[in-house]
Amino acid sequence: MLPSHFGLRKSSLVLCSARSPRHPLAQFTALAAERIRQLLQITRGRAFVLFTSYAQMNDIYQRLLGELEFPMLRQGDAPKSALLEEFRLTPNAVLFATSSFWQGVDVQGEQLSCVIIDRLPFAVPSDPVVAARVKAIDADGGNAFFQYQVPAAVITLKQGFGRLIRSLHDRGLLVLLDNRILKKQYGRVFIESLPNYRKTTDIRVVEEFFGVAD
């Protein structure tokens, strides 16, 4: 792979959350909603919040409705093209979306200064295509998790993060609300596959990045 020409260590910061989606779902959702609210206050909106499921998207959207001072847009409330146009034209907007916004979406400039992703984007195991591929690899004596599921999730995560830096002048914050990237053995595969972003687990570094630290 060719190295990026965007100077990512200066233009972008990755925050890895200290939360785990293996907590009871309600607990993780509450923690994720509060962290998202906190981060959006720092970034003054201007964010995509991307989810791996519609249920999680809708739950957190409802939890934050009325809690944020920024315009909130949600996938499903309007066609994709209309949502993107409204996002581009609305100062400090926040767009809540799922898989179709993880790739093929281009918003340049300060209007998009943050991309938040709720979980590592593993494919749903019950999907017939995924299940068939897993079965075939395992039957052949391979390890479907490391040979197929992890690499596929790595590509999807990179596509999601790739929504942020779209030009030489873009800068901003990338957030993953899933500490499996730090705690699990396979997390190193994700980290080593990402571009050379500057990384932190300290929200104070995020405040400094946006110039809002005390």
Q: What is the 3-state secondary structure (H, E, C) of the chain?
A: CCCCCCCHHHHEEEEECCCCCCCCHHHHHHHHHHHHHHHHHHHCCCEEEECCCHHHHHHHHHHHCCCCCCCEEECCCCCHHHHHHHHHHCCCCEEEECHHHCCCCCCCCCCCCEEEECCCCCCCCCCHHHHHHHHHHHHCCCCHHHHHHHHHHHHHHHHHHCCCCCCCCCCEEEEECCCHHHHCCCHHHHHHHCCCCEEECCHHHHHHHCCCCC
What pLDDT was estimated at residue 60?
95
What are the tens digits of pLDDT across the range 11-40?
788 998 766 666 677 788 888 999 999 999
pLDDT of residue 168 exceeding 80, the answer is no
Q: How many domains does the chain have?
A: 1
Which CATH number belongs to the domain containing residue 84 in this structure? Answer: 3.40.50.300
Give me the amino acid identity at 146.
F
Task: Evaluate whether 15 touches 200 at the Cβ level (below 8 Å).
Answer: yes
Q: Using 50, 70 and 90 to split pLDDT, how confident is the model at 177?
A: very high
Higher pLDDT, 54 or 212: 54
pLDDT of residue 104: 76
Residue 151 inside a domain? The answer is no
Q: What is the pTM of this model?
A: 0.89
- Domain annotation covers residue 143: no
Residue 135: what pLDDT?
94
Structural domain boundaries, residue 91: 8-121+164-209
Average pLDDT value for the chain: 88
pLDDT of residue 100: 85
- Residue 132 domain-assigned (yes or no): no
Q: What pLDDT sits at residue 162?
A: 78
Q: What is the mean pLDDT of residues 81-105?
A: 90
Beta carbons of 173 and 113 less than 8 angstroms apart = yes
- 173 in any annotated domain: yes
pLDDT of residue 86: 94
pLDDT(212) > 60: yes
pLDDT of residue 169: 73
pLDDT at 139: 93
Residue 134, domain member (yes or no): no
Q: Would you say residue 131 lies in a domain?
A: no
Question: Which tens digit of pLDDT belongs to each residue from 99-139?
Answer: 888 877 878 888 889 999 999 999 888 889 999 999 999 99
200 pLDDT higher than 80? yes
HSE-up of residue 27 (Cα within 13 Å, Cβ side): 6
Residue 138 lies in a domain: no
> Could you tell me if residue 65 is inside a domain?
yes
What pLDDT shows up at residue 176? 93
Q: Are 18 and 152 in contact (CB under 8 A)?
A: no
What average pLDDT does this structure show over 59-80? 94
